[in-house]
Amino acid sequence: MVEPLRTIGDHGIIGDLETAALVARDGTIDYLCWPALDSPSIFADLLDPDKGGAFEIRPELDEPRRLQLYVPDTNVLITRFMAESGSAEIADFMPQPEARMRAGRCARSLVRRLTVTSGEVTFTMRCAPRFDYARHIPEVAAIEGGVCFKGEKLSLSLFASVPLEPHPAETTARFTLSKGESAWFVLGDHTMAPPDDVLVSSLIEETIKAWRSWHDKSTYKGRWREHVLRSALALKLLTSARYGSIAAAATFSLPEALGSERNWDYRATWIRDASFTVYAFMRLGFIEEAEHFNHWVSERVGNCERSSPLRIMFALDGSAMAEETELSHLAGYADSQPVRIGNTAHAQTQLDIFGELLDSVYLSNKYGSAISHDGWEHVRTIVDHVIDHWQEPDAGIWEIRSKPRHFLHSRLMCWVALDRAIRLARKRSLAAPFMAWAEARDAIANDIWNNFRHPELGYFVQERGGSELDAALLMMPLVRFVSSSDPIWLKTLDAIGEQLCNDGLVYRYRGADGLEGQEGAFTTCTFWYVECLARAGRLEEAQMNLAKGLAYANHLGLFAEEVDVRGLPLGNFPQALSHLAFISAAHFLDRRLDPTYRPSWQP
């Protein structure tokens, strides 16, 4: 295994609600897809430091200390360099639509502004984009105020307040600034007009204002407010302003196990994230985002027929997810191959998605707008499909790439689909065959209680007739299938704690899944475990595990998909589901620690 130049957790994220870039602590942007989050990469050094492409800014300081922080309540990232001889900082951001409008209808761009805060500092800059997942090296040509990177399908311009030196495959600069002096670089579409100092200053001011205006809409006042709202800001960066969809993560092919094949593309919207997304945004007061996302989901559901189940994932624009392709020319993060784009799992059968979807519809009707007539007809189509297929095996929530199996979690979410549809129909007085639906719901419940228990110990298990555990079982009390104090559930919770947990780390399962390598602990499951502990009244354990879970975030409070045995990030980054699960756990634990709390069975 090759040691990576920069670790996954060594990064912050910036974005403009259409795409996002990762900025390392050494001042390098080594990951960016353009123009959209799911477009081909233009910088991908994180996946191949020789071929991927990068945008580097380096101060010539002797052993500087490197720090990163966000401008409070924003997604404007500051990278600081501190040394005996001087200090400097880089402000990195991508003006979001509101900021671009206020600054004068500017083109989309990536802005990097350097400022020396003490002494005199010399900088070197190197911008070397590699288009189409590093399969194309653009031509470099000088233009007024900057350079143009010309490709076959894409051309970008880089403007700067200092002279640039074009080279055959990159452009560079070297310059010196004294205390209080600044320089800037602006990368964007080739049609972008050359900016000036006034415009760059306006862009950063308006971007800060726009993020703070959004942040201030939050109604969350709990004890983990700073962490929760940083998670909300990260989720917002994964949200498409144009479509309302939300990506599972900003990246593709960052490994779940170093040096193995567990490398997937997460730049798509998973339907199963629907209920978590709606819950998180609504609980924090971001109603507009929840309703925009629901509108996007409704359009997908509108194309669903009883004989043709809803896809488990979609591209951000709502089209079909691309087929899985291997980029054999890229070495992969820490030599983890293959590097994949697209995702074959889009064709899998995963019956749980209908439960998550109808849970989100139920929550939206409970806290937001009432469902339309057409929307209800779509719900009825989905319920009919669930009734027809709930007894079938599937790939499950973890998208197992082996023979379909009868997973408890899939059964559970089929139960949720029927339960929420019945509740919604009664609440809104909607037409529904209540008796048939209730009979199917109860049949699923009986199947779970009778066929998904350990043969000797009696607790719930991963699959029918099996004996292995699965952290997805933690959803059982969270969706109100079983009481959080039911003796059988408490035996299950204890078994998960003994067999799947390790000092605050929670693994999805222990059994073989048909893939090489041992994956890390799953961040989402850590926070599901916290919430289950809190619901069971084990508040001291819940608080301790939440504290440990927070410690596995990186220096900026961002969560990856997984963490290794040392607590270091693995997998795609930052991952939406990890932040969604944290928000849910923190929100419930806040309520549970309130001395006036009274439990309620109603979901």
Same domain as 346, residue 434: yes
- Cα distance between residue 588 and residue 593, in whole Å: 9
Provide the residue range defining the domain that includes 95: 8-215
The residues near 306 (Cβ < 8 Å, ≥ 6 apart) are 381, 384, 385, 388
Whether residue 2 is contained in a domain is answered as no
pLDDT in tens, 479-504: 999 999 999 999 999 999 999 999 88
Same domain as 340, residue 475: yes
- Cα distance between residue 509 and residue 522, in whole Å: 10
Domain boundary residue among 215, 237, 272?
Answer: 215
Position 601 scores a pLDDT of 47
Q: Are 53 and 74 in contact (CB under 8 A)?
A: no
Whether residue 451 is contained in a domain is answered as yes
pLDDT in tens, 60-98: 999 999 999 999 999 999 999 999 999 999 999 999 999
Q: Give the pLDDT band (50/70/90) at residue 574.
A: very high
CATH code, domain carrying 556: 1.50.10.10
Q: Give the pLDDT band (50/70/90) at residue 133.
A: very high
Position 224 scores a pLDDT of 96
Domain boundary residue among 163, 196, 215?
Answer: 215
Same domain as 261, residue 156: no
pLDDT of 602 above 60: no
Same domain as 279, residue 177: no
- Cα distance between residue 361 and residue 423, in whole Å: 11
Instruction: Tell me the torsion sign for CA atoms 44, 45, 50, 54.
Output: positive
CATH code, domain carrying 105: 2.70.98.10
Specify the number of domains making up the chain. Answer: 2
pLDDT in tens, 381-433: 999 999 999 999 999 999 888 889 999 999 999 999 999 999 999 999 999 99
pLDDT in tens, 511-550: 877 777 788 999 999 999 999 999 999 999 999 999 999 9
Whether residue 3 is contained in a domain is answered as no
Position 260 scores a pLDDT of 86
> What percent of the chain is modeled with pLDDT above 70?
98
pLDDT of 603 above 50: no
Whether residue 598 is contained in a domain is answered as no
pLDDT in tens, 225-253: 999 999 999 999 999 999 999 999 999 99
Q: Is the bond preceding residue 338 a cis peptide, omega within 30 degrees?
A: yes
The residues near 147 (Cβ < 8 Å, ≥ 6 apart) are 140, 141, 157, 158, 164, 166, 171
Whether residue 126 is contained in a domain is answered as yes
Amino acid at the residue 123 = F
Whether residue 544 is contained in a domain is answered as yes
Same domain as 178, residue 271: no
pLDDT of 306 above 60: no
Position 308 scores a pLDDT of 60
Other C-beta atoms lying within 10 Å of the C-beta of residue 602: 6
Same domain as 261, residue 242: yes
Same domain as 477, residue 503: yes
pLDDT of 596 above 80: no
Q: Is the bond preceding residue 569 a cis peptide, omega within 30 degrees?
A: no
Same domain as 275, residue 421: yes
- Cα distance between residue 346 and residue 91, in whole Å: 38
Q: Give the pLDDT band (50/70/90) at residue 274.
A: confident
- Cα distance between residue 59 and residue 64, in whole Å: 9
DSSP string covering 433-465: -HHHHHHHHHHHHHHHHHHSB-TTT--B-SBTT
pLDDT of 215 above 50: yes
What's phi and psi for 472, nearest 5 deg? Answer: -65, -20
Same domain as 193, residue 238: no
Instruction: Tell me the torsion sign for CA atoms 391, 392, 398, 402.
Output: positive
pLDDT mean across residues, the chain: 94
Domain boundary residue among 215, 239, 254?
Answer: 215
Same domain as 113, residue 48: yes
Whether residue 493 is contained in a domain is answered as yes
Position 79 scores a pLDDT of 98
SS3 for 123?
A: strand
pLDDT of 300 above 90: no
Q: Are 86 and 116 in contact (CB under 8 A)?
A: yes
Same domain as 182, residue 247: no
Same domain as 277, residue 141: no
Whether residue 340 is contained in a domain is answered as yes
- H or E element at residue 570: strand 569-570
Q: Give the pLDDT band (50/70/90) at residue 599.
A: low
> What percent of the chain is modeled with pLDDT above 90?
82
What's phi and psi for 15, nearest 5 deg? Answer: -175, 175
